[in-house]
Structure 1
Amino acid sequence: MIRTTLAATALLLAASPAFAQSQQEALDARYYRALAAGYKALMLCSAIAHAEANGTTRTPESVEAWELTGIQAPQAAVIADLPYTIVRRPTGQIAHVAVDWAEDMPARLAAYYGADTGCSVLPIGAPEDASNPDQPVPLAAQPPAPVRGKVIVEAGEGRSTRKRSAPQIPAVERVQKAALAGSYGEGSRTTAVLVSRPSPSGGRRSSAFYAPGFDDKTPQRTWSVAKSLAATLVGAAVQAGEANVADPIGLNYWRAGGASDPRGAITLDHALRMATGRFSDTPGNRTDALYFGGSTVDETAVNWPVLHPPGTVFRYANNDTLLAIKAIGQWLTFYPPQEFFAKLGMKHTVAETDIRGEYVLSSQVWSTAQDLARFGELYLNDGKLPSGERVLPEGWVQYVSTPSGPQPDGPFDYGAGFWLMNRSEGVPSDTFAAFGNRGQYVVIVPSRQVVIVRRGEDPVGARFDIAAFTRDVLAALPPE
């Protein structure tokens, strides 16, 4: 009897690791499938709803071909096979997108809450009646674009929104078309390229080219370009006297820990420079539970423990940008992002939120190439609008574009919410940029008064060479 028991125990112990592993693998597979369903629901909801709010269209087939292919593992393996339903209100406006993923669980939902904040993905397991398709959601009135001086738009492929009224610059057009054709990265997929520069007759001119199915009103997710938008909103709060980058962030639930909580030493500057010293579960830009699982900013981003003294270690993390936005959350309640975007003439840009209304400004912003060019032009103009109104503090451009403290490995340094191209060959040393997943770029070159925007849906493993593209664009422009 004893021998039998010992033998059985030995067999159980030998089998336990494999059994536990299979249990974990099954659990992981189910979770990844749920995340893939949330990813699909949110992309379909946001891409279609924002395009329609802009007066254009995106079909589900277009979103599947661009946003839902070439995505990250492990979601890529299952996302195409998940069935979806687009539910509309009686007005025709999207109410929500539902994606089936498990027979014993409700569909994953992404609900549209209107033009100001767009779509939010609901938590895994949220009931299917969580979005009320019978209740209309009013569209926000679009503000008029500000007067920006004389603007000449040259566009290729018959996609101009205005008539060509100035001679083309063939060298720049060749560079832009080469980018559209995939010349700056094997396997890359470019949807839009725009170059904004001074016009010889005064004001600014821009040339823009788009892939079939995209135009100047087609929004795309900015991914981490949103981090630079977030840093800009922090700058606006500083200009308004509502924030100081040197002050501790001091969230209320950190204060409850008193002086013993080391997170109390984290400042806004640390958060903008990816140097809070906090742990995050994955390096880089994976925040799947928030982005596609339906968790909230509070649940996901703010309570990580400190592993290093703030300001000593660089770790690129969505959580740091989300922490910076939490620090100015009270100000954003009274001055939400859409009001700031409206001032800049970014009338097709929407900062989306989690289901509690917290802005996911590390990634979840939808914008057009033209709007992102206007964003870049704000920095060319030292944080002032064309009217002369200052919306960013004097010296803010230098602040965000100056490296300070620990730096990342790789070819680019980091400032405060912006990447620096000061070490890129053939590129002026004052060049800084907003970079985003899948090939989103806004490059700002103050010394040349040039903004370069590239939008894409690059597959995993393909990389657009933004340094080479920037160099070639600048070389193609006439000397000052």
Structure 2
Amino acid sequence: MQKLILAAAAAALILSSPAFAQNAQEQLDQRYDRALAAGYKALFLCSAIANAERNGTTRTPESVMQWELTGIQSPLDQIVGELPYEIERSAVTGSLESVSIVYENAAVRTALHKPMDGCKIQPIGFDPGDKRGAPPPAADVPPSREIDPMMLNIAEKRVDVGAAFTQKYGEGRTTVVTVLHKGKHAGEQYADGFFAKTPQRTWSVAKSIAATLVGAAVYRGEADVNASAGLGADENDPRRAITIDHALRMASGRYTDTPGNRTDPLYYGGATVQESMTHWPLIHAPGTVYRYANNDTLAATQAIRDTFKDHPPAEFFAKVGMHDTVAETDWQGDYILSSQVWSTSRDLAKLGQLMLNDGVLPNGERVLPEGWVDYITTPSGPQPDGPLGYGAGWWLINTSEGIPPDTFAALGNRGQILVVVPSRDIVIVRRGEDPAGIRFDFVSFTRDILAALEE
């Protein structure tokens, strides 16, 4: 009996030992990584293919694997390739309805597509056979297909952008470059398999889009950047002092678990904006410390959430002529405007041109407040370390040699770049699918484009 007791005690000791606990934690982490990798793959296959077809072009699963699903963050990069996928299409229209990925035994991650509205990754544990969580069907009405007048308006001087597709600016993988000069088409080139209507995920360029949507709400009188962003449990919560301006400037003072605020549970895990963004505690007084955070941009857009019912992002995109751009949402319908927007190079160029025109469309209609560009490019808040400054949702390229001091940019993961140079009336867009850890030298590229268009 004593030996049995001792054996049981020894077994209990082993089970409670750090080594066993570490092994159990490793197994849990591995399962979670596979669930995230499956969510990543399901969402990217769904969004890349469905949004391309929405625009009147095509992407194959093989193309998405080659570009969007290669060179991604570790350890997902080592997992996505081995995960089988199933694409389900409507028997009536042929449109993509869902993408499902089996990641462990019978466990499945699913992204559902709503026509004209993009894809939504469902929560871990969602049963793809139970479509009660699916978005309601919508009419599959194609966007306008008229010829883009901007791209027929050719600049007097054109520039060769081919160097962006070499290793001159780093070991990135450029998919497209578009350059506008004085509102006219000054240069463009595509990688094989990419075309004018091929959308890509903007990643954090969406943050600058989000700031622009806030500006549109301000112009309509529906928002005030100096008003509270509505964070916190109630009026007694110190987080209620965080304003929309603080959030746009990455200066909310809230804690984030990693630099850059990785939001994998939201982006690939099926968590919602509300549950993943709102709860972070305050550790600095609002407006005193810069810390780049997806959650801050999400807070700014959640502050204007009620305006989206009457003025959704699609309405704004249509006004600007960004017909091939889709803002996607979480599975509960809240826009993930920190990252999850799919857009073409030409559409982003139109956003840049809108900034050059201080929020006035080519037809003379104003959609942003007068002086809005001064607001977003004024570094009135705390600043990041390093060569770049930060305004309100836009990066400031104002200390680089050979770059005009009024230059600003929208920058996103994997080499998504939109550069606006007001003093030279130039917009530069570079899209890519750069491997993790690889940086495209957009400052040098911008400098060379400016030199080539020197008057």
Under TM normalisation by the shorter chain, which class is it? over 0.9
Q: In the aligned structure 1, how far is the partner of 2:111 from the partner of 2:103? A: 14
Aligned equivalents of 1:451, 1:258: Cα separation in 2: 43
**Alignment partner, residue 163 of structure 1:** none
Q: Distance between the aligned counterparts of 1:354 and 1:447, measured in 2?
A: 39
What is the deviation of 1:138?
2.1
Please list every run of 5 or more consecutive structure 2 residues that lacks an aligned counterpart in the other structure: none
Contact 2:179 2:429 in 1 (8 A): yes
- The aligned counterpart of 1:427 is 403
Normalising by structure 1, report the TM-score. 0.90
- SS of the equivalent of 2:153 reads strand
Distance 1:219 1:189 in 2: 16
**Residue type at the aligned position of 2:345:** A
| Residues 327-355 of structure 1, C-alpha deviations (whole Å, 9 max, x = no match) | 00001111000000000000000000001
1:196 counterpart (174, 180, 187): 180
On the 8 A contact 2:157/2:453 being kept in 1, the answer is: no
- Separation of aligned partners in 2, 1:10 and 1:476: 73
- Per mean C-alpha deviation after superposition, the further-off stretch among 52-61 and 14-23 is 14-23
Q: CA deviation at 1:424?
A: 1.3
Task: Trace 1:132-151 onto structure 2 (pairs within 5 A).
Answer: 137-143=138-144, 151=152
Aligned match of 1:177: 162
Q: Are 1:146 and 1:343, in contact at CA under 8 Å, matched by a contact in 2? A: no
What is the CA–CA distance in structure 2 between the aligned matches of 1:97 and 1:430, rounded to whole Å? 44
1:347 and 1:371 in contact (8 A); partners too: yes
1:233 is aligned with what amino acid?
A: L
CA displacement 1:116-145 (0-9 Å, x = unmatched): x20000001100124489986422442476
Q: Select the residue among 332, 336, 339 that pairs with 2:308.
A: 332
User: Does the 8 A contact of 1:196 with 1:450 survive in 2?
Assistant: yes
Given that 1:89 and 1:136 are in contact with CA atoms closer than 8 Å, whether structure 2 keeps it comes out as: no
Aligned 1:107-256 pairs, distance under 5 A:
107-115=108-116, 117-131=117-131, 137-143=138-144, 151-153=152-154, 169=158, 172-173=159-160, 176-185=161-170, 187-198=171-182, 204-251=184-231, 254=232, 256=233
Partners of 1:423 and 1:214 lie apart in 2 by 34
Residue identity matched to 2:32: Y
> Is the alpha carbon distance of 1:130 and 1:393 closer, same or farther for their aligned partners in structure 2, counting shifts above 3 Å?
farther
Checking the alignment, whether the CA contact within 8 Å between 1:266 and 1:276 is kept in structure 2 is yes
The separation in 1 between residues aligned to 2:12 and 2:128, in whole angstroms, is 45
**Residue of structure 2 in register with 1:414 after alignment:** 390
Assess if the C-alpha contact under 8 Å between 2:110 and 2:122 holds in 1: yes
2:402 aligned partner, one-letter code: G
Change in Cα spacing, 1:145 to 1:416, as seen in structure 2 (3 Å) is farther
| 1:103–1:237 CA distance, 2 compared to 1 (3 A) | same
Residue by residue over 1:380-399, the C-alpha shift from the partner in whole angstroms, topping out at 9 and shown as x without a partner, is: 00111111111111111011
Give TM-score scaled by structure 2 length.
Answer: 0.94
Shift of 1:151: 3.9
- Matched residue count: 452
1:303, CA displacement in angstroms?
1.5
Match of 1:362 in 2: 338
**What is the letter of the counterpart of residue 193 of structure 2?**
G
**Alignment of 1:96 onto 2:98:** yes
| Structure 2 contact 115–137 (Cα < 8 Å) conserved | no
1:108 and 1:121 mapped to 2: Cα distance? Answer: 8
- Kept after mapping to 1: 8 A contact 2:395/2:409: yes
SS at match of 1:47: helix
Shift in alpha-carbon separation, 1:181–1:358, aligned structure 2, 3 A: same
- The amino acid across from 1:182 in the alignment is Q
- Structure 1, 13-22 or 304-313: larger mean CA deviation: 13-22
Q: Is the 8 A contact 1:223 1:363 kept in 2?
A: yes
Which aligned segments of 4 or more residues in structure 1 are displaced greater than 6 angstroms?
A: 132-135, 144-147
Identity within the alignment, %: 59
Could you tell me how far 1:205 is from its partner in structure 2?
Answer: 2.5
Match of 2:372 in 1: 396
Other structure's SS at 1:293 match: coil
Q: Secondary structure at the match of 1:100?
A: strand
Deviations 1:5-55 (A, max 9, x none): 599569827961011100100000000100000000000000000111111
- Name the counterpart of 1:293: 269
Tell me what 2:235 maps to: 258
Indicate the larger mover: 10-19 or 57-66. 10-19
**What residue is the counterpart of 1:162 in the other structure?**
none
